[in-house]
Structure 1
Amino acid sequence: MVWSVMRRRRAGSQLPMPGQCEPGVGRHVLATERLLLFTPRTRLDVAAALAACADAEAQRWLGTQADEVLPDPATRRALLAWRPAGDDGRRVPRTLAQPYAPGPDDPLLLVCVRRSGLGYAGAVELDRRAGELGGWLAPACRGQGLGAELFRAGAALAHTHAGLSTVRAGAEPGNTASRRALVLAGFVPDEGRPRHTLPDGRVVEAVWHRHDSAAASRCR
């Protein structure tokens, strides 16, 4: 890792567009061929990002802290069935419609939606201090080549929005899907600590990849 009553509008009319970053308040927008990624605007966006990675398959690799995992499959499916900020014309529950404001020291979290259909697809997260990137896809979006797009967007976030010349990503040796997606996104093998502690406290073996840019910059 939001609701207000909104009139029905054309699908997508409320979504942020690339070029509409607000770095002063920590908001960014990127796009790939099939994905739109943006800083969460509501609690719904954050909840959907967490729902996208709460299943057992994802948690095998991510090890999210227990208080951030949504254990109920029905709740996860319900959250992922929404469209951001009620852009499909439905009323968003008031609790979920509340605005989300990233903290100044928080990692950069971008929720992503599919540009066709506007369904929630996953998220990417950048730790600017460590220069490390993570990301995940919702169950319905896996196995379609979207992982490479997600990590390409993450590299762009690091290089052209956060001003990092190098960004690194780690994965377990057995996580072949993520490692393949990183390679397709232009990441190359890198040296790094052989073991990594996940947020839930598990210690796992790790292999590392990096992505470099000679022209790092920050968005305006």
Structure 2
Amino acid sequence: MVWSLFRRGRSASGLPVPGRCAPGRHVLATERLLLFTPRTRMDVVAALAASADAEAQRWLGTKADEVLPHPGTRRALLAWRPAGDDGRRIPPVLAEPFTPGPDDPLLLVCVRRSDLSYAGALELDHRLGEMGGWLAPGCRGQGLGVELFRAGVELAHTHTGLATVRAGAEPGNTASRRALAGAGFVPDEGPHRHTLPDGRVIDAVWHRHDTTATTRCH
């Protein structure tokens, strides 16, 4: 999220441009990250690869059939750039277009603006007004979590028209809780126990971000 993505030929990379959302598709930028609705299956698989390591799964608890278990496979996927933007051909099955379902939570894959490497993902359930996100192992501990959640706030308030967005975390997940606080979230009331997608039940604390001015992108 300081250098411009659109200088020195980067505008020809084919990546989505912030401010040019389309029906069912969103694009946002922070200082060091570019976030966009996945265009290909490669984008989706890379987003999953960014969250499949044991450290991330301790907090996320993704369903077993959506976790990429082999570390070498995860590293290889994260080494790619968004399909077609680094001149390499990816397997045809991963180059297939991705079309989000109208009732699915909004998933935005994120890449570093410096080198276009996959960096993680943001997810917003616009029906429940709840948000989550994660960073790839090589992107943690650099303050990118604050930028990721600030992008989530923008997505919720100015792209989907939500006045309030909430996020839950396990009490011991200090990195996520600090990032949420840095993005302007404040403590909120909520269930003290939360069931993860893999069935594990964990302790939970909740945070919220409110605004009185909402808009929707076009």
What TM-score do you get using the length of structure 1 for normalisation?
Answer: 0.93
Q: Is the 8 A contact 1:11 1:88 kept in 2?
A: no
In structure 2, what is the equivalent of residue 18 of structure 1? 18
Unaligned runs of 5+ in 1: 1-8
- CA deviation after TM superposition for structure 1 residue 11, in Å: 7.8
- CA deviation after TM superposition for structure 1 residue 16, in Å: 0.3
Q: 1:130 aligns with which of 117, 128, 131?
A: 128
Q: Is the 8 A contact 1:197 1:203 kept in 2?
A: yes
Deviations, residues 100-123 of structure 1 (Å, cap 9, x unaligned): 000000000000000000000000
Aligned length: 210
Deviations, residues 79-118 of structure 1 (Å, cap 9, x unaligned): 1000001201111211110000000000000000000000
In structure 1, what is the equivalent of residue 3 of structure 2? none
Between the aligned partners of 1:129 and 1:38, the Cα distance in structure 2 is: 19
Between the aligned partners of 2:66 and 2:44, the Cα distance in structure 1 is: 10
The alignment-based identity, stated in percent, is 80
Unaligned runs of 5+ in 2: 1-8
Q: Is the 8 A contact 1:14 1:85 kept in 2?
A: no
- CA deviation after TM superposition for structure 1 residue 157, in Å: 0.4
What value does the CA root-mean-square deviation take over the aligned residues?
1.1
Q: 1:143 aligns with which of 118, 132, 141?
A: 141
- CA deviation after TM superposition for structure 1 residue 76, in Å: 0.5
Between the aligned partners of 1:92 and 1:14, the Cα distance in structure 2 is: 16
Question: CA distance change for structure 1 residues 10 and 189 in 2, over 3 Å: closer, same or farther?
Answer: closer
Q: Partner of 1:41: helix, strand, or coil?
A: coil
Between the aligned partners of 1:171 and 1:53, the Cα distance in structure 2 is: 15
- List 4+ stretches of structure 1 deviating above 3 A: 9-12
Q: Partner of 1:37: helix, strand, or coil?
A: strand
What TM-score do you get using the length of structure 2 for normalisation?
Answer: 0.94
Q: 1:1-220 residue pairs with structure 2 within 5 A?
A: 13-23=13-23, 26-220=24-218
